Structure 1
C-alpha cells in the first residue's frame, strides 16, 4: 500500500494578534496526538531584537506541543517583514525560496504547518511576495496525483469587525483559486457577548467556510501537558 502524501497546512490570520500562533499550536498538537510527524515552519519572524524582544512564535509552538519547528528568517523590529528588513538593511529571501525549502522538508513529515506573519497580504519579502503568494505557489507546485494536499486555515477574531475582515481574507484566497479549509476563532471569551455569539453563527454563514475550532481565551497560558490534552477537544 502506498504511503499517504505529506500534507501542508498554511495558517493565516485576518489581522495581527488574532491568535494565529496558538491556533497553529493547536493544529500541531491535534496532529501529534494522532501519531503524525509534524513540523511547523515560520517563514519570517519579526520583533526579536532590542531590549524587549517579542517571543519567537516557533518557540511558543515548540513549548506547547513538542513538535519540530523551523524559522527561516528573523528580523529585529516588530514591523511588516519587508519594512523590518529594509530598516535593518538586510536582504530577505523571496517567497519562491521559502516554497522551495518547504517542499524539500515534506518527505520527513506527515504534516507541515506554515504560519504566516499578520494577515494574508502582509509582504514577506522585498519583491512584494505575500503569504497569499506562498499559499498559491505551494498549492499549484504540489498539485497532482502524487502531490501533497495543501489547505489554508484562517484564524479570526470573535468580536466586532471579524465578519468584514474574514470575508475579505476568504475573497482574496478564492481570487487565486484557493478554497479555505476552515476558520479558527482564535480567542473565545469566557463570557461572550451578543456580538461574539452572533459572529460564531454568522462567520460560516457569510463566508461559506466552516468553523473548524474555537480556542478558549488564555489557551496559550496552559501548561504544555494541559494544552496537548485539551487542544483536540477545541475542534468541531
Structure 2
C-alpha cells in the first residue's frame, strides 16, 4: 500500500495519534512517510495542525495541509462561513497521488467522520478513497456506542465499493469497563474487518522518542507493528 486513508467514526477520537503511530512504525522500518491533512478546521495561523503533530510524534518525512479554516466545524461549513474556497475530493486525491510519487507511504487523515462534507457539492473522505482506490483505516472509540457508529461507517464504505483495511481503537483506557472489554470481540464483527490496534489513552502526551519506541506495540503487523488482537483480547477478557 502506498496510500492509506485514515477516518474516524466521529471527531476527537484519536485519528491523529493513530496516524502518528502508523507513521512511526513505517518510518522506523525505513520507509519515507508523508502525512496529508486535506482540511484543518478550528485552528488559527501558526498553530500546530494535525499533520504537523503526527510528524512531530512519529518522525515522518513530511506533513502537508491543503486548507485551514478558522471555525471548528465541518470543512464545507467552516469554509463557507469564512468566505474561503473549500478543498474537494479531486484536489485531495491529486495531492495524495503527487506525494505517493515522492514517498513510500502517504497517510491521508480526514476531518471527523467518513461522510463529513468537504465542499458544497457534498464531497466526502469516502470519495477521496474511491478516487485513490485506497483502503480506509477506521479509528473508533473503545466504549459504549462504538458498535453502532463502526457498523454505519463500514456499511457506508461497502455501499461505495471502498475497501476497509481494519479498525483501530483510538484511545484505550488504563482501566477498561465491561463495555470496552466486550467491544474487543464485537468490533471486528461490527466492522466486518479486523481489529488492528489499540492505542493507549494519553499516548499523544508522550515525548516523541518514547512515542516512536512504543508505537509498534499498539498496532498490528498489517500496519507495520507487532500488536496481536487475540493476545490483547485475552488479556482483557470480559
TM-score in same-fold range (> 0.5)? yes
Q: Which residue of 2 aligns with 1:144?
A: none
The alpha-carbon deviation at position 54 of structure 1 amounts to 6.7
Three-state SS of the structure 2 residue aligned to 1:87 is: helix
Matched ranges for 1:135-150 at <5 A: 135-139=129-133, 150=134
Deviation track 1:169-217 (CA, whole Å, cap 9, x = no partner) reads: 0100011112211100000000001000001111012322111110000
In the alignment, structure 1 residue 125 sits paired with structure 2 residue 119: yes
Unaligned runs of 5+ in 2: 220-226, 228-238
In the alignment, structure 1 residue 61 sits paired with structure 2 residue 54: yes
Contact 1:41 1:114 in 2 (8 A): yes
In the alignment, structure 1 residue 216 sits paired with structure 2 residue 211: no
What TM-score does the superposition give when structure 1 sets the normalisation length? 0.89
Report the number of matched residues: 219
In the alignment, structure 1 residue 97 sits paired with structure 2 residue 91: yes
Q: CA RMSD in A?
A: 1.4
Unaligned runs of 5+ in 1: 1-5, 140-149
Q: Which runs of 4+ in 1 moved over 4 A?
A: none
Three-state SS of the structure 2 residue aligned to 1:108 is: coil
What TM-score does the superposition give when structure 2 sets the normalisation length? 0.89
Distance in structure 2 (CA, Å) of the matches to 1:79 and 1:173: 23
Q: Which residue of 2 aligns with 1:202?
A: 186
